Structure 1
Amino acid sequence: MNAPEPSQPVLDRDTLAGEYFETLPYQPYPVQEEALLAYFTGDPEANGGHGVLVCAPTGTGKTLIAEAAVYEALRAGTRMYYTTPLIALTDQKLDELRESAVRWGFSADQVGLVTGNRTVNPEAPVLVVVAEILLNRLLNPEQFTFDDVSCVVMDEFHSFNDHERGIVWELTLGLLPKSVRLLLLSATVGNSLEFTGWLQRSHGKNLQLVQGTERKVPLQYEWVEDELLNDFAEKIAAGDAESRRTPALMFCFSRSQCWTTAEMLKGKSLIDKSRQKELADILNATDFTSGVGPKLKQILMRGVGVHHAGVLPRYRRIVEELFQQKLLSICVCTETLAAGINLPARSVVLPCLLKGPKDKRQLVESASAHQIFGRAGRPQFDDRGYVFALAHEDDVKLHRWREKFDQIPEDTKDPGLLKAKKQLKKKMPKRRSGETYWTQAQFEQLQTAKSADLVSRGRLPWRLLAYLILKDNHLSPIRDLVGRRLMRAAGIEKAQKDLNRMLITLHNSDAIVLDPPPKPMKEKPTEPAKPKKPGEIVKAIEAEAAAPPATGGLFGELLDSMREGDEAPAEESVDESTPEDDAAAIKQRGYELEDYTPETATPRNRLERIVQLKSVNPLFGVFLADMLASADDNERIAALESVLDVPGTVARFTRMPKIEDMPPGNLATTYLDPLLLQRGLATAEELGGATDDEEEEVRDKGFGRVMFEEPRVWPLTIGEKLLRLFRDDYPRVDDVRVRPVWIVGELMEFGGDFDKYVVTRKLQKEEGILFRHCLRMILLLDEMANIPPENTTVETWEDWLDDLADRLTETCRRIDPQSTDEILQGTSADAEDLSVQGGRRNV
C-alpha cells in the first residue's frame, strides 16, 4: 500500500495541536484537555511517548479526543486506523468522522471503512476498521506497511476483556511498531496502572495514563419506589422541552420484555401534538407492511421505539433516526445498545435490575450497568443526566399500601378509622413466592461498584493458531506470546499447557507434524474396583431415583442443556480460574504435557482448510465438510444450521421436525448410526429405535420397591450425532456446541417467502434474529465451498452450496436490501478478516 502524497509541508506537533484546538466547537473540559496535550506532546523516547490510555466514564466526550488523531493524519498526510469492536459502531464512526473531515475542510472520501463484510474507500488515509482487520494487516507485513501510519485509535478498549475476541486487541498491541502512536479509549478500568505497567514490560509500549472520574454532564440517580412503569413513563414525558426527562432509553434484559414493555406504553400520552404530527407524516410515508412492521408502527405512533436484535435492521435504522430527531420520547432497548451505539438521551430508565432466566435471575453486572448509566445526559443539551431504577411492581403496591396504613394513627379510637385499618390489613399486598426482587441497596451498589480489571481471557483461537503456524512454523514466538499475556503465573502455566494440548490436537488430526513429536504417556496400572456392599447398592439406587429425569443415553445431560429454552452462549469460555483435572485431561489423549516443548509445526493440507473457516469452530467445520460429502440435502442444511448459535428463545420455536416427519437421511443411516452404536456413543433409542411414549413400571424384586423408568428418549438430530462423533475424535476440543434448528430448511419449504414464514410461525418479534441467521448461513456456505472434501466435485459440493447461498441471498434482499448488500458485498474480501471464533458479534 503506497503512502499518500502529503498535501502540506511536514508540520510539528505543537502546530497541529494548536490547529486542532481551534477547530473545537467548545472549550474542552479537563480530562479531554489533559488527554489531547498528552497525545500531542508525548516524546517517543520518553515515558508515555508511545501513546495515551484514556480511562473515563461513558459520556465524557472521548470521541473528541480520538478525532485529534484523525485530524493529524489528514493534515499531515499520514495514515491512521480507527478500530471498534462492533460492525454497527464502525458504520456510525464512519459517518461521524466523514462529517468531521468535511467540517475541517477535507473530503469525506478521505475516510474509509473495512470490516471484512463491507468496504468503503479502502485506500483512504483514515480507515475505520473492526479490530480483526488491523491484526490481519499486522500479520501480513509483505502486503501492508505501517511505515506511514501515525496512529491507531482503539475505541471501546475495555473489549480487551472479551472472552472470545479480547485476544485480538492483545496481539495487536504487541505487533504494532513503536513508531505508531496508540490512543486507547476505555470506560473506567480498575487496574489501569497495572495494565500500563504490563504493556511496558511485555511489549515495550510506554503509554501515558489519563484518567477521569467526573462527567461534564453529571448523573443524578433516583430510586423510584412509588410509581408503576406506565405512570412513571407518562410523568417523565410531561411538560415542555426543558422540564421533561425525555428522550429516555428504557433498558430491558430480554427481547420479549422489550415488546411487553413497549406495548404497555403505547396507550400512554408520551409525545406532544406537534411532534406527533411530524412523526405520523414520516411513519405514513414508510413501508411497515411486512413482519412486525404493523405492530411496530402502532407503537412508534405513540412516541415509543423498540430496538434489539430481534428487530430487522431496516426497522432499527428507522428507530435510531426518529430518536435522534427527538420524535420519540422513549426507546425500549436491550443492553447491547449501551455497547457503543450513540443514541443521545436525557434519561436512562431501568424497570428491572435483574437479568437471566426466571429461575436464575441475578443482578446485572456492574460493568454492564456502568455502560447503561453512562448513556444518560447529552453534553449539548443537558446540564445533568437522569438514571431511574424502578422498584418491582409488587413492592410499589406494598409501598402505596403502607403509606395509606401509616396514615391511620396507631392509638386511634375512632370506629371508622379502626374499621378502615382492619379492611386495609385484609387487603395488604404480598410478594409472590418464587419471584425474585431487587432493592434500592442493590441499585446503590451498582453505582459505586469498582470498575472491571483488564485481564487476558480465553484461549488462543484455533484459527488464529493455525494462521500463525502457516506464517512461521517455529513455535517459540507463539509460546513467547502466551507467556506475555496479562495473567497471573498460574494462568500463564495453564495457558502454556492449553497451547500444548491444542498443538497435539492439530498433530493428531493430521493438520501439522510436530517436531519433536509428542511423548506417549506411560500407562499406570489401575486398581480393580472394589465390590459394593449391599447397603451401598441401596444408597446408589435411591440416589439415582431421586435424581431429576434426563434425556438418557451417554450424552443425555448435554442434550438436556441444549433443549432448554433459555439463551445460552454457543461457546463455553475458559477462564484461567476454571478448575480442571489436568491429569485426566492429559491421559485422555495419552500424551505427556509436562516438559514437552515442540520446536516446529510443519503444516499439512488440513491446516490450510482450517484457516478458511471463521463462522464456526474451524476444526468442527472441516470435520463437518468431510462428513457432509455423502449427506443428502436436508442433512446438509440441518447440520450447518445447527452450528450457527441461534438463541434458545428462538430455537424452541424452530426445532427440527420429528423423526416421523423427517426420517434419517443417507449419511445417518449408512454411516453415522452404525458407527455411533459401534463406539457406544448412542443407544438404539436415541437413534430412533424406541417409539413407546408410556412409562414402564419396573419391579425391582431384590428390594421390594416400584421404580419408574423414563423411556421417552429424544431421537438425536444430525447435528447432535455429528457432535458426538466429533467429541469422541477430538476430546480436548470443548468449545463446540450445536443447537438443532430448522429455519433455512423450512424457509426454503415456503419458497423463500420470509414474511410468509415468520407470520405463519408467529415469529414476527424475532424476525431480526432469523434474518441474521440467514445472512450467517450464506457466509458459512461461502466458506464451506472453499474447503471441498476429498472425492467431491464442483457439481456435488460447490454448486450445491452456491445454489443455496444464491436462493438465500435473494430472500434476504427482499427483506432488507441495504443490510444484505452491506454484509455480503465484502465476502470476496473475507480473507482479509481474520475473525476470531466465528465473528458472531460482527454479523
Structure 2
Amino acid sequence: MGMNHQETAAKHTAVDPDLDRDSLATEYFSLLPYDPYPVQEEAMLAYFAGDPGLGDQGVLICAPTGTGKTMIAEAAVYEALRTGRRMYYTTPLIALTDQKLDELRESAVRWGFPADSVGLVTGNRRVNGDAPVLVVVAEILLNRLLNPEAFDFSDVTSVVMDEFHSFNDPERGIVWELTLALLPPHIRTMLLSATVGNSLEFTSWLSRAHNRRLQLVSGDERKVPLQYEWIGDEILNDFAEKIAAGDDELRRTPSLVFCFSRSQCWTVAEMLKGKSLIDKDRQAELADYLNAADMAAGAGPKLKQILMRGVGVHHAGVMPRYRRMVEELFQRKLLAMCVCTETLAAGINLPARSVVLPSLLKGPKDKRKLVDTASAQQIFGRAGRPQYDDRGFVYALAHEDDVKLNKWREKYDSIPEDTKDPGLLKAKKQLKKKMPKRRSGETYWTEQQFLQLQEAASADLSSRGQLPWRLLAYMLGKDASVAPLRELVSKRLLTPKKIEEGQRELNRMLITMWQANYLSLDPKPTPAADPGKTKTDSGKKTEASQAEPPPATGGLFGEILDQMREDEPAAQPDAVEQPESDEEDQPRIKQYDLDAYRPLTATPTPRLERLVHLRSINPLFGVYMADLLATADPEERIAAFESVLEVPGTVARFTRMPRIEDMPPGTLATTRLDPQLLKLGLATPEELGAQGGEDDEEVKDRGFGRVMFEEPRVWPLTIGEKIHRLFQNDYPTVQGVRVRPVWIVGELLNYDGDFNKYVTTKKLQKEEGILLRHCLRMILFLDEMANVPPENTTVETWEDTLDDLADILTESCRNADPQTTEEVLSHNENLEDTLISSGRRQN
C-alpha cells in the first residue's frame, strides 16, 4: 500500500466524535496490513456507507470459513475507538473470547490506541470491563439490553455478532434472536456468518419482524481456495508422515486432524507420535520449551511425550493449561499436527495448511452416522492460512478395512484375467482366497459421502428452542404484561404452525408457573373441555394425570400400595390451583385449554425471585431440589448437586455413584423420598434398594464390570434420580430436565481435595479437563443455590455449608490450574451480567 502503517496510525489516534463515515472508511482502508479480498472490501464499504438515519442499520456477511471476516469486524472496532464511542463484539463461545480479546488489542495498538481500550466480560470473567470496546459472550449483551436502567446504550455505535450461524443452535440460538429484537435502532449491526441458505429470507424477516434493515453481502469464494482429496489407499500413520515430509513448500503441515471423540484423539495421537513429523531444528526448539514447562501432573507426562514428536492433543478432556500450551506451540509452527475434536472448528484460531479427517462418522459405535453438513464445512474451512498458503488441503481417509481392500484389488487387477502364465494364475488364485472383507456390524463411509459434504447446500437459519424459564421469570419480574411475550413469539422465524405451537408452549409455561405459585394469572386458565383427557401436541388424547385412580398393582407390593391408596382421601374433581404452604404439598397439574387461553397479566408472587437466581440448571427443578435438600445429609446434598451438572456419558461411566452397599441411603432418602416414591407408585422396592432373590445366577457384564443376573437386575435409584422422579410427577409439563448421577466432587473429597491424586489414582488423566470444569461449575452452582435457601433454614445450616464446600473445591482447582480457576471464579464480580448462563458450551 506504500504507506508506513505506524506513521498512518499516529495520525489517527486522536478521538474525533464528528468524523464522517467516508473519512472513517478512508482511514481504515489505509491501515489494512494487506489488500482486502473482494468480499471483505464490499462488506466494509457497505458498513461504512450505510446511514442509520436513512434506515440502514448494518450488514449481514455470509461467507465461507477462512474468508477473513475478522478484518471486516475490526472496521466497527476502529469506528468506536476513533469516534470515542462504545461497541460490543459478541461470540458464541467462552473459548473464543480470550482469543478475540488478544486479536483486538493487537489491532488497537497497531492503530495507535492503548491495549486497555479493549476489554472482556463473560459470565465467568472480566478484564477491564469499563473499556469502550468489549468482547462478550452473546448472553452478556442480552442481559444488559434487558437492564436498560443499569446499562446505557445511547453511546454504543455498533454490535458485531461473530459466528452468527449460532442462531441455529437449539439451546442458545434464542439469545441471538432476542438480542436482535432488543437492540436500539441507532446501533449498527454487523452479523458475521458462514454461508446461509436463506440469507435473503432472513434479512427480510429481520426487517419485517424487528424493523432492523441490514444490507446482505455474500460470497462463495475463499481467499485461500480449498483442494479436496479422498485418500483411499493409505492408513493415517503412513499418510501423516507423507504430508509432513519435504521442505516448506512441499509440506502439507501444519495440519489439524479432526476426530469425533476424545478417546479417538488420544488413540490417533499415540499412533502418530511414533512417526517422523518435524525436522531437527523444530525438534530442538520444542524440546527446550517442553523441558522448561511444568508437565508433571495428570496427563502432562503422556502429553509431553506426544508433543515431543510434534503432535498436539486439543479437546475438552485436556486440562486448560495444557490446551494453552498446545495452542501456543501450534501457532509457533513447532507442531506438525494437532489432533482435535470438532469444537476447535467453531472459530479457535489455529492456522493450518491442511485438515485431515480419519473418519466421516460420529456417534456411539452402534449409532454412528455421517457428520452433519454444517459441522463438516466448518471443519473444512480451517484449512489454508491467508498469510502463508495459496490453497488449503482437505483430506478424508477411507476406513482401514477399505484401504486393505483397495490395495488387494490393485494387486489382484494387476494380473490379467486372460494370462496363460501358470505362476501368475496360481498367484491370482491365492490372492482371491486372501481377499480382505468388511467386518459385520462395522459402519463405513465413502468417497461419495465426502463429495456430498463438500457440495451440500448451506443450512437455513430459523428460530430454535423455547423461551428459557429463567428468562421468562426475569421478564415477568420486570413487566407483568403477557402481551410483549405473546408478540415476541409471534415474530419468531418459524412457520405459522410452529408459531402456533410456540404460543401453546408459552401458555403451558405460564400455567405451570401459576400452579407452582410463582405467578397469579388474570384471567385464570380455563379447564380443558374434557377434564379426563387432553390433547397432546401430536393431536392424540391421553389420560389426564388425575382423571381416575391408578389400577391395582398386584402382588405383595401391589397390595401394600393399594392399601395406601385406599387410606388416602378421595381425589377431588378440580386440581388445586395454588399449592398450600405445607412443605409436603407439591404443585398438582391439571389440564387446561392451551389453544384459546390469552392471559393479560402474569403477576409475580414473592416466590418468582428464587427462579432468577439459578443460571446453571432449569430453575424450577433447582428450587424444587433446594426445598427437598434442607434435611439432606452432606453426601446426599453433594450427590444431588452433582447429578444436575451435565457430564459426558463417556466420563460418567467411570465416575459412577458408589454402590448402595458402600453408600447406604441417607436421612432425606429414608425419611422422605423413599416413602413418598412408594406411596405414589413411582418406584419399586427393588429400585429403592430392596434385595432380590438369593438364587439368581450371576453373570459378568463385560462392558461395565458389574455383576448382572439372568433376570435383569434393577439398579437402585440414586438421590438425584429420586428427586427427578418426584419432580416429573409434580411437573409433568416441564420437559428437558435430565440428571446423570456421578460421584466426582464426592470422590475428590475422599482424596482430601488433591485433584492430581484423584485423577491419577482413578486413571482419569485423559478426562481431567472435564473433571476440572465439573468442579468449577460445582463452585458456581453452589453460589447460585446459596441464594435459594429452603424455608425454615438458617445461614448456618444452608449457606455456610455450601460456602465451606465451595472453599474446599476452590483450593483444589487452584492447585490444579490456577489461571483457569482465577478466570472462572472472578465471576463473582459480574453477577449483574449473568442473567443467562454462558458457561455450558466450552471447548
TM-score, normalisation: structure 1: 0.90
Question: Partner of 2:564 in structure 1?
Answer: none
State the identity %. 74
Instruction: Check the 8 A contact 1:79/1:148 in 2, yes or no.
Output: yes
CA distance in 1, matches of 2:817, 2:695: 47
CA shift digits 1:640-677 (9 cap, x unpaired): 00000111001011100000100000000000000000
Cα distance, 1:524 vs structure 2: 5.5
CA shift digits 1:368-391 (9 cap, x unpaired): 000000000000000000000000
Matched, 1:213 2:214: no
Instruction: Check the 8 A contact 1:692/1:712 in 2, yes or no.
Output: no
CA distance in 2, matches of 1:241, 1:807: 51
Identify the range of structure 1 (281-290 vs 420-429) with the bigger mean alpha-carbon deviation. Answer: 420-429
CA shift digits 1:310-333 (9 cap, x unpaired): 000000000000000000000000
Cα distance, 1:588 vs structure 2: 6.3
Cα distance, 1:694 vs structure 2: 4.8
Question: Partner of 1:457 in structure 2?
Answer: 464
Question: Partner of 2:711 in structure 1?
Answer: 710
RMSD: 1.8
Counterpart mapping for 1:422-433 below 5 A: 422-433=429-440
Instruction: Check the 8 A contact 2:17/2:82 in 1, yes or no.
Output: no
CA distance in 2, matches of 1:725, 1:25: 62
Instruction: Check the 8 A contact 1:117/1:830 in 2, yes or no.
Output: no
Give 1:199's match in structure 2, choosing from 189, 194, 206.
Answer: 206
Letter in 2 for 1:384: R
Give 2:372's match in structure 1, choosing from 345, 358, 365.
Answer: 365
Instruction: Check the 8 A contact 2:645/2:774 in 1, yes or no.
Output: yes
Instruction: Check the 8 A contact 1:313/1:816 in 2, yes or no.
Output: yes
Give 2:75's match in structure 1, choosing from 52, 59, 68.
Answer: 68
Instruction: Check the 8 A contact 2:119/2:129 in 1, yes or no.
Output: yes
Give 1:29's match in structure 2, choosing from 20, 31, 37.
Answer: 37
Give 1:51's match in structure 2, choosing from 53, 58, 78.
Answer: 58
CA distance in 2, matches of 1:289, 1:45: 60
Question: Partner of 1:40 in structure 2?
Answer: 48
Cα distance, 1:158 vs structure 2: 0.4
CA distance in 1, matches of 2:836, 2:825: 15
Instruction: Check the 8 A contact 1:236/1:246 in 2, yes or no.
Output: yes
Counterpart mapping for 1:250-261 below 5 A: 250-261=257-268
Question: Partner of 1:768 in structure 2?
Answer: 769
Instruction: Check the 8 A contact 2:531/2:591 in 1, yes or no.
Output: no
Change (3 A) 1:525 1:388: closer
Question: Partner of 1:80 in structure 2?
Answer: 87
Question: SS of the counterpart of 2:52?
Answer: coil
Cα distance, 1:143 vs structure 2: 1.1
Question: SS of the counterpart of 2:521?
Answer: strand
CA distance in 2, matches of 1:830, 1:694: 58
Question: SS of the counterpart of 2:135?
Answer: strand
CA distance in 2, matches of 1:26, 1:692: 78
Question: Partner of 2:602 in structure 1?
Answer: 601
Question: Partner of 1:841 in structure 2?
Answer: 841
CA shift digits 1:577-609 (9 cap, x unpaired): xxxxxxxxxx96321112111111111122101
Q: Where has structure 1 moved over 4 Å in runs of 4 or more?
A: 693-697
Question: SS of the counterpart of 1:734?
Answer: coil
Counterpart mapping for 1:100-249 below 5 A: 100-249=107-256
Give 2:497's match in structure 1, choosing from 478, 487, 490.
Answer: 490
CA shift digits 1:68-93 (9 cap, x unpaired): 00000000111000000111101100
Question: Partner of 2:23 in structure 1?
Answer: 15
CA distance in 1, matches of 2:759, 2:384: 38
CA distance in 1, matches of 2:99, 2:793: 43
Question: Partner of 2:725 in structure 1?
Answer: 724
CA distance in 2, matches of 1:216, 1:709: 62
Give 1:348's match in structure 2, choosing from 347, 355, 359.
Answer: 355
CA shift digits 1:67-125 (9 cap, x unpaired): 00000000011100000011110110000000000000000011011102111111111
Change (3 A) 1:524 1:751: closer
CA distance in 1, matches of 2:53, 2:104: 30
CA distance in 2, matches of 1:76, 1:45: 17
Question: SS of the counterpart of 1:430?
Answer: coil
Cα distance, 1:9 vs structure 2: 4.9
CA distance in 2, matches of 1:690, 1:520: 44
CA distance in 2, matches of 1:520, 1:217: 62
CA distance in 2, matches of 1:196, 1:376: 29
CA shift digits 1:227-257 (9 cap, x unpaired): 1100000000000111100000000000000
Cα distance, 1:145 vs structure 2: 1.3
Give 2:481's match in structure 1, choosing from 474, 487, 506.
Answer: 474
Instruction: Check the 8 A contact 1:279/1:301 in 2, yes or no.
Output: yes
Question: Partner of 1:89 in structure 2?
Answer: 96
Instruction: Check the 8 A contact 2:28/2:75 in 1, yes or no.
Output: yes
Cα distance, 1:43 vs structure 2: 2.3
Question: Partner of 1:549 in structure 2?
Answer: none
Instruction: Check the 8 A contact 1:370/1:447 in 2, yes or no.
Output: yes
Letter in 2 for 1:24: L
CA distance in 1, matches of 2:340, 2:732: 40
Task: Tell me the number of residue pairs that the alignment of Structure 1 and Structure 2 aligns.
Answer: 770
Matched, 1:411 2:412: no
CA distance in 2, matches of 1:694, 1:771: 43
CA distance in 1, matches of 2:261, 2:693: 38
Question: Partner of 1:574 in structure 2?
Answer: none
Question: SS of the counterpart of 2:787?
Answer: coil
CA distance in 1, matches of 2:642, 2:828: 19
Instruction: Check the 8 A contact 2:124/2:839 in 1, yes or no.
Output: no
Matched, 1:666 2:667: yes
Letter in 1 for 2:840: R
Change (3 A) 1:490 1:588: farther
Question: SS of the counterpart of 2:120?
Answer: strand
CA distance in 2, matches of 1:117, 1:362: 35
CA distance in 1, matches of 2:75, 2:141: 20
Identify the range of structure 1 (687-696 vs 165-174) with the bigger mean alpha-carbon deviation. Answer: 687-696
CA distance in 2, matches of 1:422, 1:44: 78
Cα distance, 1:445 vs structure 2: 0.1
Instruction: Check the 8 A contact 1:60/1:216 in 2, yes or no.
Output: yes
Letter in 1 for 2:841: R
Instruction: Check the 8 A contact 2:627/2:790 in 1, yes or no.
Output: yes
Letter in 2 for 1:687: L
Counterpart mapping for 1:502-581 below 5 A: 502-523=509-530
CA distance in 2, matches of 1:732, 1:525: 16
Change (3 A) 1:842 1:517: farther
Counterpart mapping for 1:765-804 below 5 A: 765-804=766-805
Letter in 1 for 2:22: D
CA distance in 2, matches of 1:431, 1:696: 37
Question: SS of the counterpart of 1:54?
Answer: strand
CA distance in 1, matches of 2:232, 2:358: 11
Letter in 2 for 1:752: G
Question: Partner of 2:574 in structure 1?
Answer: none
Question: SS of the counterpart of 1:70?
Answer: helix
Question: Partner of 1:328 in structure 2?
Answer: 335
Question: Partner of 2:578 in structure 1?
Answer: none
Question: Partner of 2:546 in structure 1?
Answer: none
CA distance in 1, matches of 2:532, 2:785: 45
Change (3 A) 1:525 1:258: closer
CA distance in 2, matches of 1:189, 1:142: 36
Cα distance, 1:426 vs structure 2: 1.5
Question: Partner of 1:825 in structure 2?
Answer: 826
Question: SS of the counterpart of 1:388?
Answer: strand
Instruction: Check the 8 A contact 1:378/1:385 in 2, yes or no.
Output: yes
Counterpart mapping for 1:798-817 below 5 A: 798-817=799-818
Question: Partner of 1:296 in structure 2?
Answer: 303
Letter in 1 for 2:387: Q
TM-score, normalisation: structure 2: 0.90
Question: SS of the counterpart of 1:794?
Answer: coil
Question: SS of the counterpart of 1:249?
Answer: strand
Question: Partner of 2:691 in structure 1?
Answer: 690
Question: Partner of 1:621 in structure 2?
Answer: 622
Instruction: Check the 8 A contact 1:694/1:711 in 2, yes or no.
Output: no
Cα distance, 1:834 vs structure 2: 1.8
